[in-house]
Structure 1
Amino acid sequence: MKLHRFATVLAGALAATMLTPTLANAAPMNNRPWVSVIARGLDNPRGVTVGTNGAVLVAEAGRGGRSDKCVDSAEGGQVCLGFSGGITAVSTGRRDTWTQRRIVGGLPSLAGADGSQAIGPHDVSSYGGGDLVTTIGLGGTPQTRAGLGFGGLLLGRSVVISADRDRMSIRSLGDHAAFEARRDPDRQGADSNPYGVLGTRNGVVATDAGGNTLLSVDRRGQVSTVAVFPNRFVQGPNGQRVSMQAVPTSVVRGPDGAFYVGQLTGFPFPVGGANIYRVVPGERPTVFARGFTNVVDLAFDHQGRLLVLELAKNGLLSGDQAGALIRVDRRGNHVELAPGRLVAPGGLAVGEDGSLYVSNRSTTAGRGELLRITTNR
């Protein structure tokens, strides 16, 4: 079961909004984290990054649209194309107020009539020179995309967004879906859903959650395979052994210069069954850490400790949308930060001051949030 199917299980600049942080828990006592809501009303918020100007950027997968350009979803019903995807910038001002502004809009989005099952901009990263790069999901093949007409052409790609004074340009960088259809690196049938993305000096690296791969896209748009993540046999709901797909969702660069990739896992989404892989280009991926559940994003804090964001800490089949943010110390111990505060979180970033930023309620339209989490250590 690949990532576009999991989404169905979970059911131009706009005006700025000023927010005073809403505390999600009492003032920190000793080492207890302080959690505040710094943005609201987001549409299926996913990946998060901190821009070069210090603003926190959130990719919004959107709420689809009411068009006649629709495709069948993997879990029944249809998702329809709209242009409600975008990127929101959240920045701080005086007196601890936060301003949120949709700085990029009009990106393609597929979703159900209620905004659920959304596929659209899944992640965002700085690309150099003030540009941004985002992955726009698909959950299918180039034929799926072609059936949506001209408006769906950016689905299944990495996209560069450039701003020049008051003008903004959007261009395709790499066609992940076409590469998957042509090469099918995991040999399990073509299925592409670009997800996590990281800008690099030479282009970008991105996870394809549908293709079970980590891909590289150079500045000329040439796509190549960095790593293929294997299936693993696990115990299914009825006790039988099931071949579980990897479904990689996130990629970050570690303090050692290697890439680290987290996996959502495919069906049956076992609790504790997700790995973190260490990837050195030219070498086979190795398991760096294990024992996680439905990983959706990764980061390293300023002390070099791994942070792991779990979409559903009790497993996607549990029906429980409680998420978790896990910090892994140098001995491999897992410490949950802000327990009980996350609901289907979707993205994670570390600020210059060490604050953690997490997109929350990532599978709902109009109810998504951006949280700021501060800890004393």
Structure 2
Amino acid sequence: MTSRTLGFAAIGTALATSVALLAPAAAHANGAPVPVASGLNSPRQLTFSPGGQLYVAEAGVGGDGACAEHPEFGESCVGPSGSIARVNGNGSVSRVVTGLPSVANEQDATGPSDIAFTGNSRFAVTIGLGAPPEFRDALGLAGAWLGHVLTGDLRSTTLRSEADLVAYETSENPDGTDLDSNPVGLARWGNTYVVADAGANAVVRTNDTTVATLPPVPAFAPAAPFPGFPADAVPTDVVRGPDGAWYVSQLVGYPFEKGSSSVWRVVPGSTPTKWATGLTNVTSLAFAGDGSLYAVEIAENGLLGGPIGRLAKVTKGGSSHATVAAGLFAPYGVAIRGSNAFVTTGSVLPGGGQVVRIALG
């Protein structure tokens, strides 16, 4: 396993299945998670459109196209099974954008990762990769849009490439290490977009500029190859704060050490600073209307112990953070509407993903 990307191969299919069936009911501080949608294919980030409709990026189930050896989760095949799903008021799911590229095997999937809207219909979506350029090349035409930011309109079937993050990683390589791109978190920035590239260990802008590069994180867990092993930063999400700065979450790579993740505050042109520490394997951030920041930890005790995570309220400058809901199976994305958080769970399960609603108090 590389330490760069977001793959969950360490969990294994058997563990994922058994935990999904046997995980305890979620503990909670404010309200029990209430399922509002199910049957999703490895759901990742989710967002509300300006009109108030909830959309989810589904990484998909791969397909019967070309296969290649993914560096994170092994032999994987490509197919047009990625999608953007709308969660309707009655809990039904409508896949409003289909045919997006997905690469998967029995352990994991990569594909559509996050969505941003520029109106009720115009959108952008990140398509993950989590691998070097030659992996994408091996998949042929069916995998050509992996590692891109795509834009489109829900009223049309036409998509276009806003940016090729794999090409940018190849030419610029912001962290100066091996070539690896995995565009995941996404936010609008003027007429462009800003992207958390988990493979590149960088936050980049779709006008071919680097906003910030996050440093390696020394790991001291027993699974580390040696004390102080430089685990990759693995930025996962980027959101605009009430103060206008960007806030960036990080998973931190192998050995996914508990407490090693931070929330970074990024002001373009300045050195990133740690805004909060002591978090674990964070995949998503969202600000509430009152300015409070919430984070999803996909694995509260570290991914090597299994994907049982939580939603936490982040304490500015702190290293300890209040649990809002725990015991969540493979949670990934969070979006906030009013006094409720909406969280994707089962993010490693084809057909088994959900969106749950959690009262914030």
Give me the TM-score of the superposition, normalised by structure 1: 0.87
**In angstroms, what is the RMSD of aligned CA positions?**
1.9
**Structure 1 portions without partners, runs of 5+:** 12-23
Q: Which residue number corresponds to residue 301 of structure 1?
A: 288
Corresponding residue to 1:202 among 191, 204, 217: 191
The residue type equivalent to 1:293 in the other structure is: T
Q: Are 1:183 and 2:172 an aligned pair? A: yes
Q: Which residue number corresponds to residue 360 of structure 1?
A: 345
Q: Which residue number corresponds to residue 192 of structure 1?
A: 181
Tell me the distance in 1 between the aligned counterparts of 2:182 and 2:95: 24
SS for the counterpart of 2:8 is: helix
Contact 1:34 1:375 in 2 (8 A): no
The residue type equivalent to 1:156 in the other structure is: G
Distance 1:210 1:25, change over 3 A: closer
Distance 1:129 1:38, change over 3 A: closer
1:73-92 to 2 correspondence within 5 Å? 73-75=70-72, 77-92=74-89
Distance 1:179 1:25, change over 3 A: closer
Deviation at 1:335, TM superposition (A): 1.1
Tell me the distance in 2 between the aligned counterparts of 1:252 and 1:75: 26
The size of the alignment, in residue pairs, is 345
Tell me the distance in 1 between the aligned counterparts of 2:323 and 2:316: 15
Matched-pair identity in %: 39
Corresponding residue to 2:96 among 93, 103, 118: 103
Tell me the distance in 2 between the aligned counterparts of 1:362 and 1:128: 27
SS for the counterpart of 2:291 is: coil
Tell me the distance in 2 between the aligned counterparts of 1:89 and 1:275: 31
Q: Are 1:226 and 2:223 an aligned pair? A: no
Deviation at 1:190, TM superposition (A): 1.0
Q: Which residue number corresponds to residue 160 of structure 2?
A: 171
Partner deviation per Cα, 1:298-351 (whole Å, 9 max, x = no partner): 011111111011010010111x221111002467452101222x1111100011
Corresponding residue to 2:307 among 308, 317, 321: 321
Give me the TM-score of the superposition, normalised by structure 2: 0.90
Partner deviation per Cα, 1:114-137 (whole Å, 9 max, x = no partner): 3x3101001111134631111101
Partner deviation per Cα, 1:213-247 (whole Å, 9 max, x = no partner): 00011xxxx32100000113221426622011100
The answer to which of 143-152 and 271-280 deviates more is: 143-152
Q: Which residue number corresponds to residue 117 of structure 2?
A: 126
Corresponding residue to 2:49 among 48, 51, 70: 51
Deviation at 1:201, TM superposition (A): 2.0
Distance 1:76 1:337, change over 3 A: closer
Tell me the distance in 2 between the aligned counterparts of 1:46 and 1:321: 14
Q: Which residue number corresponds to residue 270 of structure 2?
A: 283
Tell me the distance in 1 between the aligned counterparts of 2:131 and 2:203: 17
The residue type equivalent to 1:316 in the other structure is: L
Larger Rg: 1
The residue type equivalent to 2:310 in the other structure is: A
Contact 2:344 2:355 in 1 (8 A): yes
Contact 2:217 2:260 in 1 (8 A): no
Contact 2:50 2:120 in 1 (8 A): no
Partner deviation per Cα, 1:91-147 (whole Å, 9 max, x = no partner): 32xxxx3332111111000001x3x31010011111346311111011223332221
Tell me the distance in 2 between the aligned counterparts of 1:299 and 1:135: 18
Contact 2:63 2:80 in 1 (8 A): yes
Tell me the distance in 2 between the aligned counterparts of 1:268 and 1:35: 29
Tell me the distance in 1 between the aligned counterparts of 2:6 and 2:48: 29
Q: Which residue number corresponds to residue 151 of structure 1?
A: 142
Q: Which residue number corresponds to residue 33 of structure 2?
A: 35
Q: Are 1:338 and 2:338 an aligned pair? A: no
SS for the counterpart of 1:317 is: helix
The answer to which of 74-83 and 291-300 deviates more is: 74-83
Deviation at 1:74, TM superposition (A): 2.4
Tell me the distance in 1 between the aligned counterparts of 2:254 and 2:74: 20
SS for the counterpart of 1:38 is: strand
Tell me the distance in 1 between the aligned counterparts of 2:255 and 2:330: 18
Q: Which residue number corresponds to residue 14 of structure 1?
A: none
